[in-house]
Amino acid sequence: MAQVRLENLRKSFGDMVAVDGIDLTVADREFLTLVGPSGCGKSTTLRMVCGLEKASSGQVYFDEVPVGYLPANKRDVAMVFQSYALYPHKTVAQNIGFALRMMRVPKDEIARRVTTTARTLGIEKLLNRRPRELSGGQRQRVALGRAIIRDAGAYLLDEPLSNLDAQLRVEMRAELKRLHADLARTFIYVTHDQVEAMTMSDRIAVLNNGKVEQCAPPEEIYERPATMFVASFMGSPAMNFLPGQLAGERQFRGPAWSQELPVPVAVSGDVVLGVRPEDVRLGDPDGTPGRVFVVEPLGADVLVTVDVGGVHVRARVPAPFRAAHDDAVTVTFRPDRLHLFQAQGGAAVHAPGR
C-alpha cells in the first residue's frame, strides 16, 4: 500500500530553481505520469520521492507518514532509470536477484522470486545469459525485473523506454501498462513523451518550469487543457493557435480569422483561439478561403497545412485527401470543439464541454 503525497516540494541548485512548489497526491495503485519538456524538473521531483535528492523545502509522505528524512534504501520504493547499468559479468538471474542478495534473502527464495519475475516479464528463457547477449528490449526488461522483484509500495520509473527504438518503445509501453495492472502497485512514471503519458496513465501531471500546470486523466488533459502550455505540449500535431480579440461575448476577431463562439465568453484583452487539427474541416462551401501549403499523408489520415491569410492552419482529415500545393480550399472549425485562452499567462477561458 502506498499513497504518495508531495507537499509544496521545492528544490534549488544554487539560485537555479528546478522544482518550484509541487503539490500532488498519487493514489495507492495509481499510474501517475509526470510529463514535460526537458529540464522542467521531472527527474529532480522523482529523485526527491525516492530519496536520492534532498528537498530544499516541502515534504514527501508515504501513506501520510513524512519520509523526507529517510535515505533511499529506507523508503518503500523501487526505481528504474533511463540509463540502467546492468552488471555485465553477472547473468540475467544474478542481475535480477541482486537487490535481494544485498538484503540477505535466503537463496531458494531468491531463486523462486527471480523465476516468477522473469516469467512476468517474458524473459524466463534468458536467465543464464549475460547482458551483452541480450537485445535492447531484453536488457530493459532485466532492468525492470531488478526493480519489480522488490516488493515495493511504489515503483518510480524515469524515462525507462527512452533508449529503445521506436517500435520496441510502443511494445514495451503496452507491456508496462499491463504490468502495472498485474502488480497492482503505485507507479510514478516520468517521460518527456506525450504519447507515453497519454497511453499509459491514470492521471497525467504536466510540468513546466518546475510547476504542475495541470493534473488530470489523459482525456481531460487532451479535451480541456487548463493552459496554452498544456494544450501545445499534449497532442501531435499540436493544437492550432490563432491570436486575436473578442468583439462582443460571442465573436472572436483576429487578423487572419474570425469565429463565432458557441457560448458567450467574458474576458478582456488579447486572446488566443485554439483548435485541434482533427477539429478542422476542409471544403465546406461556407468556409474561410485559403490555399494548400503542404499535404502530408499519415496513412489513415492526412495532415493538410493550409495558408489562411498568412497564418498556417493544420487539419487532420481522413484519407484520401488529394490536393496540390497552392490549390484553393476552404477551412472551418468545429464550433463545439473550440478552445479560448488568455494571451497573457495562457489560462483557458473556454474549452469544449464546459
Ligand X SMILES: Nc1ncnc2c1ncn2[C@@H]1O[C@H](COP(=O)(O)OP(=O)(O)O)[C@@H](O)[C@H]1O
What does 41 bind: ligand X, Mg ion, none (CB cut-off 5 to 8 Å by kind)? ligand X
Cis peptide preceding 218, ω within 30 of 0: no
How many positions of this chain bind ligand X (CB under 6 A)? 11
Rounded-to-integer distance, Cα 354 and Cα 341, Å:
14
Per-residue mark of binding to ligand X, 24-63 (x: CB under 6 A): ------------x-xxxxxxx-------------------
Residue 13 is a binding residue for ligand X (CB under 6 A): yes
CB of 19 to Mg ion, least distance (A): 12
How many positions of this chain bind Mg ion (CB under 5 A)? 1
Nearer to ligand X, 12 or 25 (CB): 12
Phi and psi for 289 in degrees, rounded to 5?
-70, 140
- Contact (CB, 8 A) for 56 and 10: yes
Work out which of 33, 43, 117, 120 binds Mg ion, going by CB under 5 A: 43
Rounded-to-integer distance, Cα 199 and Cα 160, Å:
15
Nearer to ligand X, 142 or 207 (CB): 207
Distance of CA 112 to the CA centre of its chain: 35
Rounded-to-integer distance, Cα 139 and Cα 92, Å:
9
- Contact (CB, 8 A) for 91 and 134: no
What does 140 bind: Mg ion, ligand X, none (CB cut-off 5 to 8 Å by kind)? none
Instruction: With contacts defined by CB under 6 A, name the span among 10-18, 91-99, 107-115, 279-287 that binds ligand X.
Output: 10-18
Instruction: With contacts defined by CB under 5 A, name the span among 17-25, 40-48, 202-210, 307-315 that binds Mg ion.
Output: 40-48
The grid coordinates listed for 339 are 478552445
Residue 259 is a binding residue for Mg ion (CB under 5 A): no
CB of 36 to ligand X, least distance (A): 6
Instruction: With contacts defined by CB under 6 A, name the span among 13-21, 262-270, 289-297, 333-341 that binds ligand X.
Output: 13-21
Nearer to ligand X, 13 or 87 (CB): 13
Cβ neighbors of 269 (< 8 A, separation 6 or more) are: 245, 342, 343, 344
Site for Mg ion in 323-342 (CB under 5 A): none
Nearer to ligand X, 16 or 300 (CB): 16
Element (H, E) at 232: helix 228-233
CB of 56 to Mg ion, least distance (A): 18
Rounded-to-integer distance, Cα 246 and Cα 250, Å:
7
Rounded-to-integer distance, Cα 200 and Cα 187, Å:
11
Distance of CA 22 to the CA centre of its chain: 17
The grid coordinates listed for 335 are 464550433
What does 184 bind: ligand X, Mg ion, none (CB cut-off 5 to 8 Å by kind)? none
The grid coordinates listed for 11 are 528544490
Q: Which residues bind Mg ion (CB under 5 A)?
A: 43
Q: Which residues bind ligand X (CB under 6 A)?
A: 13, 16, 18, 36, 38-44
